[in-house]
Amino acid sequence: MEIKNDLFLRAARGEKTERTPVWLMRQAGRILKEYREVREKAGNFITLAKTPELAAEVTIQPVDILGVDAAIIFSDILVIPEAMGLPYEMVEAKGPVFPKVIETKDDILKLVLADPEDQLSYVLEAIDIVKKELAGRVPLIGFAGAPFTIFCYMIEGKGSKTFSKAKKMMFQHPELAHLLLDKITENTILYLKAQIKHGADLVQIFDSWAGILSPQQYRDFSLPYLKKIVDAIDEAPKTIFAKGAFFAREEIGKLNCDVVGLDWNMDISESRKLIPNKTLQGNMDPCVLYSDFSKIVSETKTMLKEFGSTKHIANLGHGVYPDTNPDSVRCFIDTVKSYSH
């Protein structure tokens, strides 16, 4: 199906665009009262993510309400460990919690290579519905967590400031760490390929906890697995967003991906020098959206001017925060859309 507004995909491929495309990480979420209504109907986050019709509905909401140039499938990065045999719960005000964690080699060996059409069929069904209902208005982004980030949750069992248990395994039992990372990587490749087969136009890999590693640890425990994933997938463009990994920008830029996501700590002109040949995505501090409209407009224009008129997808440097006023989000999006270089 032909996509009517293909600015996002053209920018991802490095082609010239009439204007800079824009979307937001976590655009389908608590900033929208319409999302909160659907979530209430579902009862909880996991039920919402696992009910294809409802997941599809909240995926499309930001396209209708905010006017973004791409939709991103509503799901969670932790569906992969669950499909591998390690279920999680979403605890209100605490986030994801794994009742059982990975501690031994036996625990790793028990994990399965999931069939996405079976264990993750609810995500693929949601993609099918979204593609049909979008009817080519904008592209759809699929995604997965980076192996290192998923590894962190599977060892730690929950979010953490330090992920010291995960890092402890890397230092004490590196062979077990690599065994688990390999298994996560195999599952992730199959999952992303299935998303593309069902209609995802681009896939993004989120390395949310990249910033807790030293540069050498990142080279050992994350980059090789990111490389495996992007080398295995050639059916659609790929974005890598490694939050906090300012030290790995040049190496990420050399991977077989099309777009590199920047967080707000990554200087734009420096990033252009380090990654000269790829499209960059980002990188406004989400907290700018707490400002008044005139400040949001001026900060957005400053960012757009620095990125320049090509090879840029406008976004925040992380997900939009849940207490952000939707009108402030609209102000950011409208400023991008009306800006001319």
**152-196 pLDDT tens trace:** 999 999 999 999 999 999 999 999 999 999 999 999 999 999 999
Q: What was the pLDDT predicted at 93?
A: 78
The answer to whether 328 and 41 have CB atoms below 8 angstroms apart is no
Given a cut of 90, whether residue 202 has pLDDT beyond it is: yes
Q: Which residues are catalytic?
A: 26, 30, 39, 76, 153
What is the C-alpha to C-alpha distance for residues 281 and 105, in angstroms, rounded to an integer? 38
* pLDDT band per the 50, 70, 90 thresholds, residue 92: confident
Q: What was the pLDDT predicted at 101?
A: 97
DSSP string, 15-30: ---SS--B--TT-SST
Given a cut of 90, whether residue 1 has pLDDT beyond it is: no
Given a cut of 80, whether residue 4 has pLDDT beyond it is: yes
What is the C-alpha to C-alpha distance for residues 186 and 84, in angstroms, rounded to an integer? 11
Torsion of CA 113, 115, 121, 125, to 10 degrees: 120
Q: What was the pLDDT predicted at 214?
A: 97
**Which range (91-95, 104-108, 248-252) has the least confidence?**
91-95
Segments making up each domain of the chain, as ranges = 7-338
Q: What was the pLDDT predicted at 260?
A: 98
The CATH code for residues 7-338 is: 3.20.20.210
Instruction: Quote the DSSP letter at residue 312.
Output: E
